[in-house]
Structure 1
């Protein structure tokens, strides 16, 4: 189960002339390398949810992606591309001497993990794609379905504000809040690590790559689709999702059908953060997968 653990080491790594800060827990022979969501979020929420795997003998590594947390925060929007983040991830892996890793990508970190896996397949022991997608246009149709559950008048109101760019209007924000509590985290009180990450959100990368909120994709990733390329992922892959996830089980199934050696777990009573919403089912599934794919 998750808990706050102080990192055993804090590393400052130079990436593109900027400082990126990574955190390391434990000293096991196998590394779980965590890529958190956002874009623009510090890694607290995912780091704190997985550092507990040191109890199972793993080394756990996470890092604040450029623009987030303790890392440098440049304002050049040309830096906010998935390709540059792939190279940043590889720079961190090499700088820390991690060798082959179990790569865990959550949400936006899953998109990053997919592109990393297709670029540097030789560096992966396994791939864990959590609450993520590989086909953004398909996700947009799924988000339209989730939004429709609010009713036609509310959808029309949201579309009006999106056309006007008035994303901060109270009635629009109220609709987004309802969707967040249905499809991002269904707990009445969101865990402290989640709040820490959200309170330090850098909207620069987020707005450039995704959009103004979790339910409107208008950034530079809006047409991203790697489904045709997923058969090239040959490592064992675990795909997880919550039954109420904003990045829906239908999106997870598309990935599962495209990756040759993939298995899919859908967690009940959870949305986008099963590690906090349903830890009793989440952790055994993750640990079982990792234990079945230890290096020979």
Structure 2
């Protein structure tokens, strides 16, 4: 089960003209390299949910992506592209000498993980895609379906504010809050690592790449779709998704059907963060998959 742990090591990794901060827990040849969501979130919420995998004999590495957490925070919007982030991941892997890794991507980190896997497949033992998608246009249609459950008048209100650019209006913010508690994290009190990440959200990368909130995609990834290319991936893939996830089970199934060697688990009583919402079901799925594909004990 997850718990907050102090990292065994903290690294400064040069990435171009900047630096990112990486954290390492445990030892061993089997490395889980975590790519957290956002874009623009510090890695706290995903790092603290997975550092406990040291109990299973894994080394766990996470890092604050450029623009987040303790890493440098440049304001040059040209840096906020998925292609540049792929090279950032590869720089971290090489600099820390991680070798072939189990790459675990959550949400936006899953999009990044897919792009990395297609670019550097030889560097992966497995790919773990958590609460993520490979087809943003399909996701947008699913988000419209989730929004429609709020009722036609509420959806019309949201569309009006989106058209007028008044996304800070209290009634629009209230609708987003309801959706977040339904489809992002269904716990009445969100865990401390989640709060820390959200309180330190850099909206620069997020707005540039995704959009102003979790249910409106306007950024440079709004047309991103890698479904047609996923059949090229040969490594074992684990897909997990919460039954109430904003990145829905239908999105997860779309990935599974495109892959050659994948298993899919829908986790009950959970939305976008099953590792916090339903750890009893989540961790056995993750541990079982990793143990079937580990290279050392």
- TM bin (shorter chain): over 0.9
2:199 is the alignment partner of 1:202: no
Instruction: State the 4+ residue runs in structure 1 displaced beyond 6 angstroms.
Output: none
Aligned CA RMSD, in angstroms, stands at 0.5
Q: CA deviation at 1:151?
A: 0.1
- SS of the equivalent of 2:295 reads coil
Q: Give the TM-score normalised by the residue count of structure 2.
A: 0.99
The aligned runs of 1:1-296 (5 Å cut-off) are 1-295=1-295
In the alignment, the residues of structure 2 paired with residue 165 and residue 34 of structure 1 have an alpha-carbon distance, to the nearest angstrom, of: 35
In the alignment, the residues of structure 2 paired with residue 79 and residue 17 of structure 1 have an alpha-carbon distance, to the nearest angstrom, of: 11
- SS of the equivalent of 2:174 reads helix
In the alignment, the residues of structure 2 paired with residue 55 and residue 123 of structure 1 have an alpha-carbon distance, to the nearest angstrom, of: 24
In the alignment, the residues of structure 1 paired with residue 23 and residue 232 of structure 2 have an alpha-carbon distance, to the nearest angstrom, of: 30
Structure 2 gap ranges (5+)? none
Do the aligned partners of 1:140 and 1:217 also contact (CA within 8 Å) in 2? yes
Do the aligned partners of 2:29 and 2:295 also contact (CA within 8 Å) in 1? no
- SS of the equivalent of 1:62 reads strand
- SS of the equivalent of 1:137 reads helix
In the alignment, the residues of structure 2 paired with residue 156 and residue 100 of structure 1 have an alpha-carbon distance, to the nearest angstrom, of: 49
In the alignment, the residues of structure 1 paired with residue 147 and residue 157 of structure 2 have an alpha-carbon distance, to the nearest angstrom, of: 11
In the alignment, the residues of structure 1 paired with residue 257 and residue 124 of structure 2 have an alpha-carbon distance, to the nearest angstrom, of: 20
Q: CA deviation at 1:16?
A: 1.3
Q: CA deviation at 1:295?
A: 2.2
In the alignment, the residues of structure 2 paired with residue 164 and residue 134 of structure 1 have an alpha-carbon distance, to the nearest angstrom, of: 30
Cα deviation, 1:199-251, whole Å, max 9, x if unaligned, reads 00000000000000000000000000000000011000000000000000000
Q: CA deviation at 1:28?
A: 1.7
Do the aligned partners of 1:28 and 1:54 also contact (CA within 8 Å) in 2? no
Q: CA deviation at 1:29?
A: 1.7
Aligned length: 296
Q: CA deviation at 1:294?
A: 1.4
Structure 1 gap ranges (5+)? none
